[in-house]
A and B are shown apart, each in its own frame.
Chain A
Amino acid sequence: MNIIKYILKRIIQTLPLLFIVSIISFFIIRLSPIDPLAELRLNPSISQETLQKETQRLGLDKPIPVQYAKWASSFVRGDLGVTSSGERVADKLKERIPNTLLLTSIVIFMTWLVGVPLGILGAVFHKSQFDRLLTVLSSIGMAIPSFFFAILLLIFAVKTSLFPVGGLTSFDFDEMSLGGKILDLAKHLVLPVTVLFTISLSGLQRQMRANMLDVMDSEYIKFARAKGLSEWQVIFKHALRNALNPLITLLGFEFAGLLSGAALTEYVFQYPGLGRLILEAVMKSDINLVMASLMMGSIMLVLGNLLADILLIITDPRIRGVGK
């Protein structure tokens, strides 16, 4: 019961936060000098009347607070509005979300599957050759800029013809058998996944290693060892459980990154995800689309944190007091 109360309380706390985020973003976008109609203005075949009509249609003739109020009231009612070219924002997002989710969830799953054990190993064999090797590799991974790595891989794909040049599916995807489709998807996913995996793996491995080292140094581990427990029991029963707490918080952030974490890589690989859509929208100051994606990002972040906190309550008895 307490947990439900706690969740409700958190959700109510969230509302003013979202409100402030939306106001700040809306005003920043509208006050920026980007003119959504700049291209049209320089088109010799566009008449003055058409320009005026467009200005009215996009609501640019009204003061910014009025524009905001209009946007906010329809957003609250669940209507995300239309893009500057007249398509429904909700439709646009719906087209792209599954693709981005596919990419990011594969990456997160793989990162955690590999990163956490590597972090533990690094800590357990602290200062060994193995640990040093991991440190060097993860430093490299963290140091490579993702877009640069992506471009290198893209050139690799062109030169070797082993992998397709960006995209998610081949042009004849619809005519393939189920097995062929899976293979085709896998082929397209290898490169972007490699880029994102390399970069987030390094971070996670370092984080896990540091947590684990912290814990291994503590009094209760010394005590456990002194008690004569086997090293195996010390690590997995006592050290690991305590080292996981910060990672659960991290998982909350990963959740937020599910929809927005891969934008740069998506752009380089021409991946049909949200990143490309939103980048284009920002360039054109397509306000409804940008706002929808920003709000989505904020909600995901808040939600991720909430989930992490709930998980912490479940895993860590010391925090349970908060809910009461």
Chain B
Amino acid sequence: MKRVIYLIILIGIITACLPACLKKDSYISQSEIPVVKEVQLDKYPLNKIFPNPKTVTINGVDYLQSQLPVGDYGGRLITSTIGEGPKTFNPFTAKDATSSQMANMMYDGLVSMNPVTGDVTPKLAKSIEVKGNKYIIHLRRGIKWSDGKPITADDVIFTWKDIVFAGLGNTSVRDSIIIDGQLPTIEKIDDYTVVFTVPKPFAPFLRILSNPIAPKHYFTSIPNWEKSFDRILATTINPKDIVYSGAYHLKKYVPAQRVVFDRNPNYYEINLDNKKLPYLNQIVYLIVGDLNNEILKFEGKEIDTITLRGATVARYKAKEANSDYYIYNLGADTGTMFLAINLNNRKDNKGKYYVNPIKQKWFADKNFREAIDYAIDRKSLVTNIAYGLAEPLFTSESLNGIYLNKSITGHNRDLSYAKELLKRSGFYYGKNGFLYDKNGNKVEFDLYTNAGNTERESIGVMIKQDLADLGISVNFKPVEFNTLVNKLTNTYDWDMSIMGLTGSPLEPHNGKNVWASNGPLHLFNQRPVGYSVDDRLSWEKELDYIFEQAALKLSFDERKVYYDKYQQIIYDERPIIYLYSPTRVVAIRRKFKNTYPSTLSGVLYNVEEIYIEKAKQ
């Protein structure tokens, strides 16, 4: 009898639990969106001027001279990199951000940039003259590779001709400088002068010169170096064998744990006392698997600097006064969050439309797109999802971009205006409060994003709510990242989608793959590869023209006119509705001086100039 009672109780418990499992598979219910208080943070003084280093010649050596205050030598900075760590130390084969970052510690490029303004400044090059299609590079005299061999024009020619133009390793640099199917040419004038000639004026070229320069004698000393190029500077290399030019060089790589860099005692940059930089003896990158672990490590004082996200900012801010770190709000970052609308009106090869023709009509309607834009409450997105650590965004260039069109100021949420726009296009409301188009079709479409990204999932839920106020039913469907990418780039069977892309704040031309009508990432109106029919919309034609022309102009002001226009077109036509740009918040321990963190370059950009006061080492 006792057993029967136990059995009944057990069955009772199980049946009580079952409904939880059977609950309808709706992703996030409204109640789960956390209502949070905005975090108040002081803005980092963005007008803080970073003085560009100058060139000084001492005993025939063209040193680079830092213009920042003189600091103390010694100490070490520990930072972190998220993921699996570097895959290679070869700057030319690196494909991921971590590998390039590590490789670029050891190899300098011809030019660099001002971390605050983004201006191009000389690095390995002493100076650069631009004469129309020609870029005349004057190299520094007397500076050397780590093994004592001089850095000369031969190394530059080798790097560009034999590696980049030849298409060895990662070809993204090569791809970006093919102009009308032609590569630039390079020739040697003397040991310290080279000239690049581009087929026609091409503005982005100057920045591309920041590509690292390889030591010719070291690369060619490896037998069969071209064939085994992917293996040069592999992670298994003995650090003692590396020939480098950068401020730091690899000391030890411990897989999945850390990468240790030691100071280069013969670096060509000096301080105002004419003593050699860098100040810090060692830079350590701890390899951490995820964000949570990184935060724990910062809290456990194992790392010195960290980029803070979301909810953690408020917690750290509260502790800042009694701590040994400063928190800086660097302002809007390069990332953008947006809502893309599928304007595709083509058929697949089976004769079926990618997008339902009824929906096509809505999406092709400019008023409809504008109504969607006006119905979205960006302010509450920023407050509720980004914890206030973001800024509403209305432009396709990110807010820290140097080509940002500042005349686009955006708008607040305006439901009545949105409704009026819909009315103009013949949409009407049924008795049930839902929106119908002029042919009597209920307005209902799918909204996709990648599952697992909680930020985008929350945005989806809020946009669904916002559009419900317009009487639009949105089926919000978070799907696997791969599935989403396949939809966007291959099968085109989506209506709207929440995405984010990281653009370049310095060079709008890098967005050409998105904005050019034949671009491989022209998401909102993707044409299949090899599509030859010219069915461009009038403003797509205009965009094509702008991107072609703007690259030909060399002065900033001339280019700005074009890029302002392109942002205006995107804002007016709204094929992509921009939502917000997260702000970047970093924490740095107070003992570090001469730090110039910026969203353009991060925290460690001028690592050779950062020092720790003697008393705190």
A interface residues (Cβ-Cβ under 8 A, vs B): 33-35, 38, 41-42, 44-51, 53, 83, 85-88, 91-92, 95-96, 154, 157-158, 161, 164-169, 171, 173-174, 267, 270, 272-273, 276-277, 280
Cβ of B544 within 8 Å of any chain A Cβ, yes or no, is: no
Interface string of B205-232 (1 = CB under 8 A from A): 0000000000000000000000000100
Whether, in the assembled complex, B549 has its beta carbon less than 8 Å from a beta carbon of chain A, the answer is: no
Of B62-70, B170-178, B193-201, B594-602, the segment with at least 4 beta carbons within 8 Å of chain A is B170-178
1/0 per residue, CB under 8 A from A, across B288-324: the answer is 1100010011011110000000000000000000000
Contact partners of B482 in chain A: CB under 8 A: 33-35, 38
User: Which residues of B510-536 are within 8 A (CB) of A?
Assistant: 510-511, 513-514, 520-521, 529
Interface size on B, residues (CB 8 A): 54
Bound state CA distance, A158 and B300, in angstroms? 6
Q: Which residues of B contact A45 (CB under 8 A)?
A: 172, 176, 504, 510, 513
Q: A47-B175, A87-B87 are in contact. Are A164 and B302 (CB under 8 A)?
A: yes
Closest residue of chain B to A52, judged by CB? B529
Instruction: List the A side residues contacting B489 at CB < 8 Å.
Output: 41-42
- Are B300 and A49 in contact, with the CB atoms below 8 A? no
Across-interface contacts of B286 in A (CB, < 8 A): 167, 171
Once bound together, how far apart are the Cα atoms of A150 and B586, in whole Å?
28
Residues of B that sit less than 8 Å from A by CB: 78, 83-84, 87-88, 93, 95-96, 171-172, 175-176, 230, 234-236, 252, 254-258, 260, 284, 286, 288-289, 293, 296-297, 299-302, 480-483, 485-486, 488-489, 499, 501-504, 510-511, 513-514, 520-521, 529
Contact A38 B172 (CB under 8 A): no
Quick check: A165 and B296 within 8 Å, CB to CB? yes
How far is the CB of A88 from the nearest CB of chain B, in Å?
8
Determine the chain A residues whose CB is within 8 A of the CB of B252 once the complex forms.
174
Question: Which of A46, A51, A91 is the most central at the interface, judged by chain B CB atoms within 10 Å of its CB?
Answer: A46
Taking A165-B302, A270-B288 as known contacts, 14 extra A-B pairs with beta carbons closer than 8 A to each other, sorted by chain A number, are: A33-B486, A35-B486, A42-B488, A45-B504, A47-B175, A49-B171, A49-B175, A50-B172, A87-B87, A165-B293, A165-B297, A171-B302, A174-B260, A280-B84
CB closest chain-B residue, reference A169 = B257
Q: List 5 A-B contacts (CB under 8 A).
A: A38-B485, A42-B485, A45-B504, A161-B301, A174-B252
Q: How far is the CB of B183 from chain A (nearest CB, A)?
A: 13
Nearest B-chain residue to A54, judged by Cβ: B95
* CB-CB under 8 A for A85 and B87, given A44-B514, A166-B293, A276-B289: yes
User: Which chain B residue has the least Cβ–Cβ distance from A173?
Assistant: B254
Max chain A Cβ within 10 angstroms of own Cβ: one of B256, B485, B486, B488: B256
* B-side contacts of A169, CB under 8 Å: 254, 257
Q: Which residues of A contact B503 (CB under 8 A)?
A: 44
Question: Contact between A154 and B296 (Cβ–Cβ < 8 Å)?
Answer: yes
Which B residues are CB-close (under 8 A) to A96? 255-256
Residues of chain A with a CB closer than 8 A to B78's CB: 171
Knowing A33-B483, A168-B257, A171-B258, the reply to whether A44 touches B289 (Cβ < 8 A) is no
* CB-based contact A164/B300 at 8 Å: yes
Whether B513 contacts A267 by the Cβ 8 Å rule is: no
Contact A272 B257 (CB under 8 A): yes
Closest to A35 in B: B482
Query: A113 CA to B172 CA in the complex, in Å?
Result: 57
A270 CB contacts on chain B under 8 angstroms: 256, 288-289, 293
Task: Check B172 against A46 for contact (C-beta < 8 Å).
Answer: yes
B256:A276 contact, CB within 8 angstroms:
yes
Q: Is the Cβ of A165 less than 8 Å from the Cβ of B300?
A: yes
Q: How far is the CA of A141 from the CA of B480 in the complex (A)?
A: 35
Contact across chains for A267 and B289 when beta carbons are under 8 A apart: yes
The reply to whether B300 and A85 form a contact with Cβ atoms under 8 Å apart is no
What is the CB-to-nearest-CB distance from B233 to chain A, in angstroms, rounded to a whole number?
Answer: 12
Separation in Å of the B445 CB from the closest CB of chain A?
A: 22
- Of A42, A49, A173, which one neighbours B501 at CB under 8 angstroms? A42
Among B289, B302, B483, the one with the most A-chain Cβ atoms within 10 Å of its Cβ is B289
Q: Is the CB of A157 within 8 A of B300?
A: yes
Q: Are A44 and B521 in contact (CB under 8 A)?
A: yes
What 10 A-B pairs are tightest by C-beta distance, nearest first?
A272-B256, A85-B87, A47-B175, A95-B255, A38-B485, A165-B300, A35-B482, A165-B296, A171-B284, A44-B513
Complexed CA–CA distance, A88 and B296 (Å): 32
Contact of A277 with B256 in the complex, beta carbons under 8 Å: yes
Which of chain B's residues has its CB closest to A49's CB?
B175
Q: Is the CB of B254 within 8 A of A272?
A: yes
Residues of A within 8 A of B256 (CB): 95-96, 270, 272-273, 276-277
B84 near A42 with CB under 8 A, answer no
